[in-house]
Amino acid sequence: MKKLAEGIAALLVAGLFVAILVGVARRYILGAPLVWIDELASVLFLWTIFWSAAFVVKLHEHVAFDLLYQALAPSGRRWLAFAAAAVVALALLAALPKLGGYIAFLWRERTPALQWRLDYVYACFTLFVGASGLWFLARAVNLLRRHWRELV
């Protein structure tokens, strides 16, 4: 499953790269800019960021300010990590219904050039919030188990 998520992220990055190259070539080499290519690049960038953050990038690879965390003993790290994971999980999962409702509401709106429905464009944010909420919930549960030292 991890390889599939990484493959999709790689395809999104490749698509973004090609879109930018085509846009630059059309604008500066051929002198005939494409209006829709900037919009395509923006949507691909949005999907790349949220897809990768939800399914590919590991927690320790994110930017973190962990001075207090590193100063604690392992048991203190465990409980701080548990509290943080639980609070983040609850916040994300609690926001999910309203977020999903708002994004579903966006079916009425469309992008200017490609006329794509905005609920499809921003569906990646719902995926991100849901996947991240479940991941943090699993982390909180795992920190209560016997092998918690592997996580701190």
- The confidence score (pLDDT) of residue 68 equals 87
Percent of the chain with pLDDT over 90: 88
- The confidence score (pLDDT) of residue 1 equals 87
Cβ–Cβ < 8 Å for 9, 52: yes
- The confidence score (pLDDT) of residue 69 equals 87
Residue 2 makes CB contacts below 8 A (sequence gap 6+) with 55, 56
Give the integer Cα–Cα distance in Å for 23 and 20: 5
- State the pLDDT confidence band at 59, using cuts at 50, 70 and 90: confident
pLDDT at 64 over 90: no
Residue 45 makes CB contacts below 8 A (sequence gap 6+) with 16
Mean pLDDT of 62-91: 92
Instruction: Look up the pTM and report it.
Output: 0.86
Mean pLDDT of 140-145: 96
pLDDT at 95 over 90: yes
Tell me how many helices (H) and strands (E) the chain has.
6, 0
